[in-house]
Structure 1
Amino acid sequence: MRLSNCAAAGLATVLLLSATSVASAAEGVPGATMSLLWALPFVGLLLSIATGPLFFHHIWEHHYGKITALWSALVVVPLAFSFGWAPMAGAVLHALLLEYMSFIILLFGLFTIAGGILVTGNIHGTPMVNAGLLVIGAILASFVGTTGASMILIRPIIRANDNRPFNAHVIIFFIFLVSNIGGALTPLGDPPLFVGFLRGVDFFWTTGHLLTETLMVGGIVLAVFLALDIFLHQREKGLPKIKDPTPDSKLRIRGLVNLPLLGGVIGLVLLSAAWKPGIAFTIQGVSVELQNLLRDVGIVALAVVSLAVTRKEFRRANGFAWGPIVEVAKLFAGIFICIVPVIAILQAGPEGALAPLVALVSSPSGEPNDLAYFWLTGLLSSFLDNAPTYLVFFELAGGNPQELMTTFATTLAAISTGAVFMGANTYIGNAPNFMVYAIARERGIAMPSFFGYMLWSGAVLIPTFLLVGFIFFG
């Protein structure tokens, strides 16, 4: 994942075409006549993302862009041959210029600005200190994103525990709480929720409707961590002491100039939700609303300011690199193209090839089965990327944000919590999971393997999700 100055300039130029809804990408594509074969590129790309970094790392690292382009071509070319150039071009244009651009611009802004905030110094990782850091990180995740919060706090929490014989569990629970669960309260927190915001879900809807579920899940997981960390901390007293490679020193936060810039990002997103001047520009058939245009331009401008005013040594100390955001940009460009036929089929409802899936999440009377939405969204988000998984089930539930926020509010809550919470089930469920895992291993922490981590999530998270699913969606 690398981002050159030219790429950044290109991003700033292309964002001028941003707009509002990926559903339009399916216009002109007759979903009722399409078979499930049209979904294969989407599934293939997601499986490539899930397995590539683990099973053919070297090939994936050097060729993920080409692999993504290949899967995208398997959508674009057949669409052109089957339905004509104009419907294909319209579908791809909408997919790339609507939600994708706003989505990647927000991630770019949060990633860049949060990467300039450096926490220096060290404190001793006692159970209460660790729990406090996890709470701070979980709260921070809803404002700077799970990736931003993870990158700010992962090194401080590693330093705090690098002289403890038992410390891998601290990183595991960090992934649970900071890299996933904590991002459930605003659209800034986790990519699926921002996709929902772009589709018309109110900014504060997530805060009001997911707060109770988030507090329950976060509280249970934190309580389990505290009990386990106290137990292991007591056991460590009888073991030979390890010399602390990073002795305790005063904690300091550097790069504070980035805090008001983060506030600016939040303000711009809120402005785009509240201010509706009724002014729009039509570009190649795409209606670009003024408030969304200003939001995206403003976020990029704030990121550029952050690059200009943050001292380079702060970013170096954070291990800041452009690689992750470039990889996300390339992969999600492919995802938003490959999902076009899937959206078209879902919009066909019972007449489409995904009618069995529609029946699976619906009761005999036709009402949505919220518990099924919670578990299906969650389980797929555990192994595939949670943002496109959210979008698939959002469409499956009707795709009308006004209905989903009111009449079917519990259905939208089930989809949202499933996508955000269960991204913690595996290393590949959410982008920061694997990043945290890689940083921890690089610092010498004996992290569990892919399946070893799933044993942890199966023991801690799955019982929690069973309880929460039964209480809120059963």
Structure 2
Amino acid sequence: MFARYGSALAVSSLVLLPQNAFAATGLDGAAMRWPYALPFTGLLLSIALGPLLFAKFWHHHYGKIAAAWSLLALASLVVFAGGMSTLAALVHAMLAEYLGFIVLLFSLYVVAGGILITGDIRATPATNAGILALGTLGASLVGTTGAAMILIRPLIRANRPRRHNAHVVVFFIILVANVGGALSPLGDPPLFVGFLHGVDFFWTTRTIWLQTAIVAGLLLAIFVAVDIWRFRSEPSPPEVGPLEPVRIRGLVNLVLIAAIVVSLLASAMWKPGIAFDILGTKLELEDVVRNVVLLAVAALSVWLTPDEHRQANGFTWEPIREVAKLFAGIFVAIIPVIAMLNAGHHGAFAWLLSAVTGPDGAPREVAYFWFTGLMSAFLDNAPTYLLFFQLAGGDPQTLMHEMSGTLASISMGAVYMGALTYIGNAPNFMVSSIASENGIEMPSFFGYLLRAGAVLIPLFLLLTFLPVAPILRWH
């Protein structure tokens, strides 16, 4: 029960505290050592190994396992910094980081789940490539979560009769749930974080469109080659009658997706200067209003969409429930890790700052690209983007102009390499859960890592040295 109600109870209890208790003392990451990262490491290993080694137990108790690692992290912080500082850190993680993250994912999941694409789709390599290309293009317009939730179920239905179909979902995660979101703040959470911190809305569109086109184009070409090879090994499909034309139902949800986009833009531009201080965490009025609007949009989708549309989609609450529980654990267990990283040269991860900065103080774009990317794959790409954004100075004007290569490296690393693991970007896990629910035998955590890495790492090396992409410089 903790995984479902723990955060709500903790937040509710705060309103009962006396007003003078609402003053947070920051965690001293410089005084922490690497053992404080063990609960986070344990949680990641549990997510990786649980479904592989004890699938039935994991499926029934993953929320409790995530909660246990979270409690261990919080207990270590209580011993280190005391109860009030730990409570303040927990409130900040839940209200300032996790709440907006999960509300946006929830609303996109609900609204996209009401869009029903019907008709007969033959899962040929050309058709699959077309769906992946459409999702890749749409991801920067409706977000990686929105594009993934709209297209994953039709793609699964089309490919369910095929004997070899897991690779289709793997490439879908890479392209639609990650790389496709690289061209706008609406596309992927880390770029939205940058937008909220002052990066121009179309900056990534202007700056990394060529790199994104190269990566996405090569990925689609690789997918077509793999899918043709797999398709030719399949038995010939049985003869069928006339195909039912493709139709899109639940079109009201497209309007609701537009409402989500507008609410995100409005919350970034509307600054009333009103904030609620909860144990040192300032909850801005525009963020509160945005979350309320997003929840209202989700409720409207449930109300306005016929139940049979979601039933035909195979819509269930389990994928978003799993994402909510596991990422709640991640956002809590990562608290000491972020504190140590924020300590810079004085923290346990001082080597990281030295690795991305030359002896003369100049940034190393290649190092920013790879460190941001690899950490995004395991720490979630939104907080990792923010960490390296701040590490590079945090001034959006400087980063967009004099240090544009550094910001581009951070942006590409966070978005592209979020595809390396199931936990690099929230839609990854959601798509995998939906595919597994629908009978697709998805690879394990490490199985997916090996498959995605085998495809992506050579492309990233190519991007690092490619003359047509001179943004990345060694220094």
* Band of TM-score, shorter chain: 0.7 to 0.9
- 1:66 counterpart letter in structure 2: K
Q: Look up the match of 1:250.
A: 245
Which runs of 5 or more structure 1 residues have no equivalent in the other structure?
A: 18-23
- 2:58 counterpart letter in structure 1: W
- Alpha-carbon offset, residue 142 of structure 1: 2.6
Residue pair 1:72, 1:334 contacting (<8 A) in 2 also? yes
Q: Are residues 1:315 and 2:314 paired?
A: no
Quote the Cα distance in structure 2 between the aligned partners of 1:169 and 1:329. 26
Change (3 A) 1:61 1:421: same
Residue pair 1:117, 1:256 contacting (<8 A) in 2 also? yes
Q: Are residues 1:467 and 2:466 paired?
A: no
- 1:410 counterpart letter in structure 2: G
Change (3 A) 1:138 1:202: same
Q: Look up the match of 1:67.
A: 65
Q: Quick one: which of 278, 297, 302 aligns to 1:302?
A: 297
- Higher alpha-carbon deviation: 161-170 or 95-104: 161-170
- Alpha-carbon offset, residue 218 of structure 1: 0.6
Q: Look up the match of 1:138.
A: 136
Matches within 5 A, 1:256-335: 256-335=251-330
Change (3 A) 1:77 1:226: closer
- Higher alpha-carbon deviation: 291-300 or 385-394: 385-394
Change (3 A) 1:202 1:287: farther
Change (3 A) 1:319 1:179: same
Q: 1:417-449 CA deviation, whole Å, 9 max, x = no partner?
A: 223222333455444445545555666667666
- Alpha-carbon offset, residue 156 of structure 1: 2.1
Matches within 5 A, 1:153-302: 153-161=151-159, 167-197=165-195, 201-229=199-227, 235=232, 241-243=236-238, 248-302=243-297
Residue pair 1:50, 1:428 contacting (<8 A) in 2 also? no
Q: Quick one: which of 346, 349, 352 aligns to 2:344?
A: 349
Residue pair 1:138, 1:182 contacting (<8 A) in 2 also? yes
Residue pair 2:384, 2:414 contacting (<8 A) in 1 also? yes
Which runs of 5 or more structure 2 residues have no equivalent in the other structure?
A: 16-21
Change (3 A) 1:246 1:318: farther
- Higher alpha-carbon deviation: 55-64 or 104-113: 55-64
Q: Look up the match of 1:372.
A: 367
Q: Quick one: which of 419, 422, 426 aligns to 1:424?
A: 419
TM-score by length of 2: 0.84
Q: 1:185-205 CA deviation, whole Å, 9 max, x = no partner?
A: 333433433444455555444
Q: Look up the match of 2:119.
A: 121
Residue pair 1:121, 1:249 contacting (<8 A) in 2 also? yes
Quote the Cα distance in structure 1 between the aligned partners of 2:346 and 2:357. 15
- 1:132 counterpart letter in structure 2: G
Change (3 A) 1:81 1:169: closer
Change (3 A) 1:170 1:287: closer
Change (3 A) 1:126 1:323: closer
- Alpha-carbon offset, residue 356 of structure 1: 1.4
Quote the Cα distance in structure 1 between the aligned partners of 2:6 and 2:166. 37
Q: Quick one: which of 59, 74, 97 aligns to 1:76?
A: 74
- Alpha-carbon offset, residue 36 of structure 1: 2.0
Change (3 A) 1:232 1:56: closer
- 1:249 counterpart letter in structure 2: E
Matches within 5 A, 1:1-80: 28-80=26-78
Q: CA RMSD for the aligned pairs?
A: 3.6
- 1:215 counterpart letter in structure 2: A
Q: Look up the match of 1:20.
A: none
Residue pair 1:426, 1:454 contacting (<8 A) in 2 also? yes
- Percent of aligned positions with the same letter in both sequences? 58
Quote the Cα distance in structure 1 between the aligned partners of 2:169 and 2:239. 18
Q: 1:310-331 CA deviation, whole Å, 9 max, x = no partner?
A: 1111111112122222222223
Change (3 A) 1:113 1:240: closer
Residue pair 1:25, 1:94 contacting (<8 A) in 2 also? no
Q: 3-state SS of the aligned residue for 1:250? A: coil
Change (3 A) 1:112 1:417: same
- Higher alpha-carbon deviation: 107-116 or 32-41: 32-41
Change (3 A) 1:87 1:172: closer
The count of residues paired between Structure 1 and Structure 2 equals 461
TM-score by length of 1: 0.84
Residue pair 2:184, 2:202 contacting (<8 A) in 1 also? yes
Change (3 A) 1:361 1:306: same
Change (3 A) 1:353 1:454: closer
